[in-house]
Amino acid sequence: MTAQATLPRHAGAAAAEAPLLSVRDLTLHIPVPPHVLRAVDGVSFDLRRGETLGLVGESGSGKTLTALTLMRLLEPPLDHLPRGQVVLDGQDLMLLTETRMSALRGHAISMVFQEPMTSLNPVMTVGRQIAEPLMRHLGLPTRAAMARAEEMLRLVGIPDPARVLRAYPHLLSGGMRQRAMIAIALACRPLVLVADEPTTALDVTVQAQILELLTELQREMGSAILLITHDLAVIAETAHRVAVMYAGRIVEEAPVAELFADPRHPYARGLLASIPRIERMPPATLPEIPGMVPGPAERPIGCAFMPRCARAISGCAAEPPPLAEVAPGHRVACWNPVHG
């Protein structure tokens, strides 16, 4: 690998005190008369340089919409609805014009989308798709951008990158398409990478390779990763901290080891209790959380988890609980959290 293609380590590393990305009260309420769909409902978190924050929750919890909202990728008529702050390296992305946001998107902050087959352009070669942000954001001429694209393919572990450079997405396997998506997202060496279910539909061997690749590239770049997934095993292996989402809100946030050892929110505790374990046989004995996740138009005024919660008290119906600190670095949104 040439020295030019090696991704540099950003100054500051993981122990930087100030958040690189600070999200405050991010909200997406969609009016659909006679209802208002509370898709994203006051999400707040910080992400520091060199850190991976796992955003976990079951389907419909609002993880992907949170990512699309902070990336300013919602299409009309939803694009004018988000509220809150998304401060990246001192700039509030929510206040930028689309022209200025477009200049940052793919450069300072990038996203790996959930399904590479539908996210990659089917009529454009893989090399051209990697070179495009390099030409647009870094001003590289075509030949230099294509050379850099080939090195990016090599960097993400794709064999014979010169051949893949000229290939179209449908000619690649699922794992290779996902690696190509990562190459596109990292081509301009972003400060923040948002990875939305980056291992969905991949077999476990390829999944492990992709996660290892993201970890290696993060160490090399010193960038921050927001890792969105429904897979708690992926979070345990990859993330430094984890935020659990339920019905559009973060209900618990803690260092990974602490949350797995001592979850305080009844929903987080229920999720962890339902993980299959070898010593828990037969499988029919797995505990479950009763009921269903309420839809965006069906959420109660108070805590959205209250109808399914065995620890619900009278105050739970009045208003949603704030995300409050119960231990250093450990926050829970619950009026009656589990203690110890």
- Contact assessment for residue 336 and residue 316, using Cβ atoms and an 8 Å cutoff: yes
Section 212-220 average pLDDT: 87
Q: Has residue 108 got a pLDDT over 50?
A: yes
pLDDT tens-digit readout, 258-307: 999 999 999 999 988 887 766 655 555 677 888 888 888 888 889 999 99
* Per-chain mean pLDDT for the chain: 88
Q: From residue 40, give the alpha-carbon distance in Å to each of 47, 65, 67, 69.
A: 18, 7, 10, 9
Domains of the chain, earliest start first: 3-239 (3.40.50.300), 266-332 (no CATH)
State the SS3 of 34-69. Answer: CEEEEEEEEEEEEECCCCEEEEECCCCCCHHHHHHH
**Using one digit for the tens of pLDDT, what is the confidence trace for 23-35?**
999 999 999 998 8
Least confident span in 40-49, 64-73, 202-211, 226-235: 202-211
Mean pLDDT for the stretch of residues 90-115: 94
User: Using 50, 70 and 90 to split pLDDT, how confident is the model at 204?
Assistant: confident
**Per-residue model confidence (pLDDT) at position 42:** 95
- pLDDT attached to residue 47: 96
pLDDT at 292: 85
Query: Which residue did the predictor score with more confidence, 312 or 203?
Result: 312
**257-268 b/e (C-beta count within 10 Å ≥ 16 → b):** ebbbebbbbbbb
- Our CA dihedral for 1, 225, 115, 73, rounded to 10 degrees, sits at -120
Give residue 217's pLDDT band: very low, low, confident or very high (50, 70, 90). Answer: confident
Share of the chain above pLDDT 90, in %: 66
Sequence-separated (6 or more) residues with CB below 8 Å from residue 114: 64, 196, 197, 200
Going by DSSP bridges, is the β-strand pair 224-229/52-56 parallel, antiparallel, or unpaired? parallel
CA dist 150 and 163 (Å) reads 9
pLDDT tens, position by position, 133-192: 999 999 999 999 999 999 999 988 899 999 999 999 999 988 899 899 999 999 999 999
**What is the Rg, in whole angstroms, of the alpha carbon atoms belonging to the chain?**
21
- Of residues 317 and 210, more confidently modeled: 317
Res 39: pLDDT: 93
pLDDT band at 230 (very low <50, low <70, confident <90, very high): confident
Tell me what pLDDT residue 13 has: 41
The tokens of 11 are what?
Answer: 């100054």
**How far apart (Å, rounded) are the C-alpha atoms in residues 189 and 176?**
20
- The structure's pTM equals 0.89
Residue 200's pLDDT is what?
A: 75
